């Protein structure tokens, strides 16, 4: 049996923030994210091996890539927590509030977790 998380609203808030960042809806933002996570480090390493020894460029590219990949990993971990909250909510009787906007569904699941723990 799954156990409810301890701070469901903080998890829902962070999940929504990371969903905006990791799954952008605009094509330009998708290209920027891909550039930050994949293309930027590859181009930087290529330039480094070709003889361009700009240390600040390398550090900047590595820092941005590390930040983007760590947010991507955190997003997927929180996604499984949100799915667990959904399953717990369905096991125990369903939601107590509803919404038609899928953007706010993590808050519905968080509300159900708070009501179940009370």
Confidence band for 97, pLDDT divided at 50, 70 and 90: confident
Provide the pLDDT for residue 118. 74
Provide the pLDDT for residue 73. 97
pLDDT single digits (tens) 12-66: 999 999 999 999 999 999 999 999 999 999 998 888 888 877 888 888 999 999 9
Confidence band for 6, pLDDT divided at 50, 70 and 90: confident
Provide the pLDDT for residue 96. 77
Provide the pLDDT for residue 52. 76
- Which structure tokens are listed for 101? 């906007």
Radius of gyration over every alpha carbon of the chain, rounded to an integer in angstroms: 19
Domain extents for the chain? Answer: 23-117
pLDDT single digits (tens) 73-82: 999 999 999 9
The separation between CA 71 and the C-alpha centre of its own chain, rounded to angstroms, equals 6
Provide the pLDDT for residue 1. 57
How many C-alpha atoms does 95 have within 13 Å on its Cβ side? 13
């Amino acid at each position: 049996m799954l156990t409810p998380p301890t701070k469901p609203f903080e998890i829902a808030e962070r999940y929504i923030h990371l969903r905006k960042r990791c799954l952008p809806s605009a094509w330009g933002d998708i290209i920027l994210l891909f550039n930050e996570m994949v293309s930027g480090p590859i181009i930087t390493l290529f330039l480094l091996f070709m003889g361009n020894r700009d240390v600040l460029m390398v550090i900047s590219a590595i820092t941005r890539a590390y930040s983007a990949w760590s947010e991507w990993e955190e997003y997927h971990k929180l996604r499984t927590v949100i799915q667990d909250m959904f399953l717990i909510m369905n096991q125990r009787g369903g939601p107590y509030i509803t919404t038609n906007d899928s953007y706010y569904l993590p808050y519905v699941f968080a509300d159900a977790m708070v009501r179940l723990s009370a």
